[in-house]
Amino acid sequence: MLKLSDFDYHLPKELIAQYPLKKRDDARLLVLDRKAGSIKHCNFGELESYLEPGDLLVLNNTKVLRCRLIGRRRTGGRVEVFLLNKKKSGLLSRRPGRIVGGRDSASGRNLEGASFEALIKPTRVKLQEQIIFNGGKTLGVIKGKREIGFNTADTEKIYSLGRMPLPPYIKRDVEKLDDSYYQTVYAKKAGAVAAPTAGLHFTPALLEEIKSSGVNIAELTLHVGVGTFKPVKSEDIRGHKMEEEFYQISKDSLKLIHQTHSSGKRIVAVGTTSCRALEANVIEKKQQGATDIFIYPGYKFKAVDCLLTNFHLPRTTLFMLVCAFCAAGASANLYGGAGIELAKKAYREAIESRYRFYSYGDAMLII
């Protein structure tokens, strides 16, 4: 049995990056060779030297939504609303002094508004309580423990009121720089509540350099959900249930993936999200859909040959995926079937070398 405690490690707090580097590709890159068990250190801008002509770099082009809204109660109290999934329809009606779900008692007409599944703090807000945003220009109403509705159906307007949803281990207020730095340069399809952080290191110039070297690039979409922050609570990790996330892989990208496999070249997944989407596509045989694939040691990878990723929190499904990937190519005699020790070896060396960790931190290439 794989225990949750197997995936623990100690990280000094000062190594948790609080700000991005001014130049994205100035990040450091730890290169882990699974078969040799060797580690090299370089700059992220040198990534191209570890790729070969004909390899396929797969990027997740999801775009992070400004989904963290700050509103006020009628009493003046602060309310934080973290928007998750948009509901298919929402009905709000106006009554004197408040908004509630239902029908306008004066005119008898329904007023359409967008409704969202949401995380709401403080949890003591009341059902049908009105929340004021943007100085009263936008109003919301608590429709349930995890649901809020608005007096507008314009989702772009609603998201324009929000802030970037920085993860909780970044202990500062959101700043203007986060609007660009907490977004990949190739982000296109809005829908994520967290960034696919391995992609944050790329610049347009670096991507062009990689393409010029003969490496192909494909894109897919996996909208990172709030489940990425969901803690694993069961000591037997097999009891953990992943939350579903939407993914989509275009026909053109699938064609490139199949051509790469057929030619014997490598699929290089940029991030755990790209990795999960690629593996889900093989297992579920769907071009798009919702996946709750949980990858941990013992999983046999079917699509991905190399993994580019950031450094992840201990005891998380992301670190478990990294351990699983290390196991897939590690020498069983040296590191055992799980690959956990190989991953921990790399993390220990990163800590000793003072790498920067987590979303705004440095990167790791596992080959």
For domain 68-160, the CATH class is mainly beta
- Looking at the predicted structure, is the pLDDT value of residue 118 above 70? yes
Listed range (21-30, 39-48, 292-301, 335-344) with the worst mean pLDDT: 335-344
User: What confidence score (pLDDT) does residue 96 get?
Assistant: 34
Residues 194-207 have a mean pLDDT of 99
Listed range (28-37, 142-151, 210-219, 257-266) with the worst mean pLDDT: 142-151
- Inter-residue contact 182 to 166 (CB < 8 Å): yes
What is d(CA 75, CA 365) in angstroms, rounded to the nearest whole number?
51
User: What confidence score (pLDDT) does residue 248 get?
Assistant: 99
Kindly indicate the confidence band of residue 196, based on its pLDDT and cuts at 50, 70 and 90.
very high
Which overall architecture, per CATH, does domain 4-65+171-366 show? 3-Layer(aba) Sandwich (3.40)
Which tens digit of pLDDT belongs to each residue from 238-261? 999 999 999 999 999 999 999 999
Listed range (5-9, 130-134, 184-188, 328-332) with the worst mean pLDDT: 328-332
Kindly indicate the confidence band of residue 331, based on its pLDDT and cuts at 50, 70 and 90.
low
Residues of the chain with CATH 2.40.10: 68-160
Kindly indicate the confidence band of residue 262, based on its pLDDT and cuts at 50, 70 and 90.
very high
User: What confidence score (pLDDT) does residue 335 get?
Assistant: 39
Residue % of the chain over a pLDDT of 90: 85
- Looking at the predicted structure, is the pLDDT value of residue 107 above 70? no
For the chain, what is the mean pLDDT? 92
Residues 72-100 have a mean pLDDT of 72
Listed range (35-39, 138-142, 213-217, 327-331) with the worst mean pLDDT: 327-331
- Looking at the predicted structure, is the pLDDT value of residue 103 above 50? no
Three-class secondary structure of residue 307 per DSSP: strand
Give the other-Cβ count within 10 Å of 272's Cβ: 29
What is d(CA 7, CA 5) in angstroms, rounded to the nearest whole number?
5
Kindly indicate the confidence band of residue 11, based on its pLDDT and cuts at 50, 70 and 90.
very high
What is d(CA 193, CA 252) in angstroms, rounded to the nearest whole number?
26
User: What confidence score (pLDDT) does residue 137 get?
Assistant: 86
Listed range (43-52, 137-146, 229-238, 315-324) with the worst mean pLDDT: 137-146
- Looking at the predicted structure, is the pLDDT value of residue 222 above 50? yes
- Inter-residue contact 100 to 127 (CB < 8 Å): no
Residues 159-186 have a mean pLDDT of 97
DSSP output for 222-276: E---GGGGPPP--SBGGG--PPPEEEEE-HHHHHHHHHHHHTT--EEEEHHHHHH
- Looking at the predicted structure, is the pLDDT value of residue 100 above 90? no
Tell me, rounded to whole angstroms, the distance of Cα 43 from its chain centroid.
Answer: 23
